Amino acid sequence: MRTPRADLLPPSERLRVLALDVTDAQSIDRAVAAGPIDVLVNNAGIGAAAPFECMTGAAVREIFATNTFGTMAVTLAVQPQFRQRGAGVVVNVTSSVTYKALPLLGVYRASKAAVNAFTESLAAEVEQFGVRVRLVLPGRAPETRFAENARPHMAGLDHEAYAELVQSVFASFGESGPITHSQDVAQAVWRAATDPTCPMRLPAGEDAEAWAAELR
């Protein structure tokens, strides 16, 4: 778990930075106990781009532990206070890769698609209590540290049998074209949190919006 950095955001009397490991039940309990929550944004995530045959069982479990079970665990910890208060918003950040099948991303895509399904069912359960649940689906965001953080989870994976495919896919990652900026995701999360009329799924970024449009 990375140490939280308060310097990532401008100083404010209304800002507190807390440590939170979404795979650690005690860490979740400490963060939730720190104060009432109005909006929960589940944004923790890790990924790895590799053929499924090359993934280790440990790598698969780690990806699901953070992306899927971590989202569920934090939501479960916060949900009772939302229900009792009759208000609250859950915003789950997944990925636009769930819009279409892509090679090398099967495990990551599955972990995020599971959150999509969970989110939609949860929304139907808690609407009666005045609690809203929404999805934000970002596209490719090269300005973030997502790819850098994914590399340790790819260490030791044997891509030799799939070398040509891996090379071509990674080359495509660097191609120019529509991308997602951090501001795109921030705006989508803000809309999900503040606009009761917004749709369940909010693509974030020009590329994500284009993929979503292909399904309409």
Contact 4, 19 (CB under 8 A): yes
Task: Name the domain count of the chain.
Answer: 1
Q: Under a CB-based contact definition with an 8 Å cutoff, are residues 94 and 108 in contact?
A: no
Which residues constitute the domain of residue 71? 38-214
Please indicate whether residue 162 is annotated as part of the active site.
Answer: no
Q: Between the CA of residue 65 and those of 15, 27, 37, 111, 193, what are the distances in Å?
A: 28, 14, 23, 9, 25
Is 1 within a domain? no
Q: Is residue 24 part of a domain?
A: no
Domain membership flag for residue 205: yes
The catalytically annotated residue of 54, 91, 99, 108 is: 108
In a domain, 153, yes or no: yes
> Domain containing 157 — which CATH number?
3.40.50.720
Phi/psi at 132 (5° precision): -105, 145
- In order along its 216 residues, the chain shows pLDDT tens digits of 455 555 667 778 888 888 899 999 999 999 999 989 999 999 999 988 888 988 889 989 999 999 999 999 999 999 999 999 999 999 999 999 999 888 989 999 999 999 999 999 999 999 999 999 999 999 987 666 555 655 565 555 566 777 788 777 766 665 667 888 889 999 999 999 999 999 999 999 899 999 899 886
Q: Choose among 121, 127, 137: nearest CA to 88.
A: 127
Question: Helix, strand or coil for residue 135?
Answer: strand
